[in-house]
Amino acid sequence: MSYYDSIKVPWVPTRDELLDYVMRLAAVGPNDVFYDLGCGDGRVVVRAVKSGAKKGVCVEINPSLIEKAREYAHREGVEDRIEFLNEDFFKVPISEATVVYMYLLTSVNRALRPKLEAELRDGTRVVTLDFEIPGWKPVQVVEVALPTRMAKLYLYIKGVSDR
Ligand SMILES: C[S@@+](CC[C@H](N)C(=O)[O-])C[C@H]1O[C@@H](n2cnc3c(N)ncnc32)[C@H](O)[C@@H]1O
């Protein structure tokens, strides 16, 4: 898996109906630094800071999407609590995260796993939508009925799920 493969992950936004489930599953609170790896238009990270996270980090390779994310955060009045990184998530340090969100693909999650294992601190929560992290054991799986399909959210905890 390389950067060139990973950018084939298309922009498909997390549906708004799922955002509360993500925040509850990750138990987002005032001590959290919430990373969205491949943050698209910023809707998840904006919700995270509006739900009480002290800081959000929005990592997105596509420059027009990161601009969209910045504008959305500005409109929502939370721009100053979010760091916007127009970068490749394979190259961004993530050790500051207490929560990581990923709506990617199984193949990309597999490729990111060594980075998650090397950099995240024990206790960090990792939530993925629809695609598992191969080799990690979820501590909780939540299924949500959407109008057109079932969505699946996976919660992993570094130090538990990777052992
Ligand atoms: C399925 S979308 C999810 C968007 C957002 N997380 C959400 O849930 O609404 C995946 C996003 O990852 C971005 N992406 C793909 N490869 C990337 C990489 N190597 N570094 C940073 N972003 C990447 C894509 O441009 C796309 O916006």
Can you tell me the mean pLDDT for 132-160?
Answer: 97
pLDDT of residue 8: 72
Encode pLDDT of 26-73 as tens digits: 999 999 999 999 999 999 999 999 999 999 999 999 999 999 999 999
Amino acid in the structure at residue 117:
E
**155 phi and psi angles, rounded to 5 deg:** -110, 125
Q: Determine whether 74 is exposed, middle or buried from the number of CB atoms within 10 Å of its CB (0-12, 13-18, 19+).
A: middle
Would you list the domain boundaries of the chain?
A: 3-157
Ligand 1 pocket test: which of 47, 67, 103, 106 has the largest number of ligand atoms within 8 Å of its C-beta? 103
Nearest CA owner, ligand 1 atom 26: 11
Sheet holding 33-37, edge to edge: 82-85, 55-59, 33-37, 99-102, 125-129, 150-157, 140-145
**DSSP of 39-64:** -TTSHHHHHHHHTT-SEEEEE-S-HH
pLDDT of residue 7: 57
Q: How confident is the model at residue 145 (pLDDT cuts 50, 70, 90)?
A: very high
Pick the CATH number of 3-157 from 2.60.120.260, 3.40.50.150, 3.40.190.80, 3.40.50.2000: 3.40.50.150
d(CA 27, CA 38): 21
**26 phi and psi angles, rounded to 5 deg:** -85, -5
For 3-12, 17-26, 131-140, which range has the lowest pLDDT when averaged over its residues?
Answer: 3-12
d(CA 155, CA 78): 26
d(CA 110, CA 13): 21
Q: How confident is the model at residue 2 (pLDDT cuts 50, 70, 90)?
A: low
Encode pLDDT of 109-143 as tens digits: 999 999 999 999 999 999 999 999 999 999 999 99
pLDDT of residue 100: 99
Q: Is 107 in the pocket of ligand 1 (CB under 6 A)?
A: no
Q: Which helix (H) or strand (E) holds 71?
A: helix 63-75
Encode pLDDT of 77-119 as tens digits: 999 999 999 999 999 999 999 999 999 999 999 999 999 999 9
Residue 81 · residue 54 · CB < 8 Å: yes
Asked if the model's pLDDT at residue 17 lies above 70, the reply is yes
CA of 38 to the centre of ligand 1 (A): 3
CA of 112 to the centre of ligand 1 (A): 13
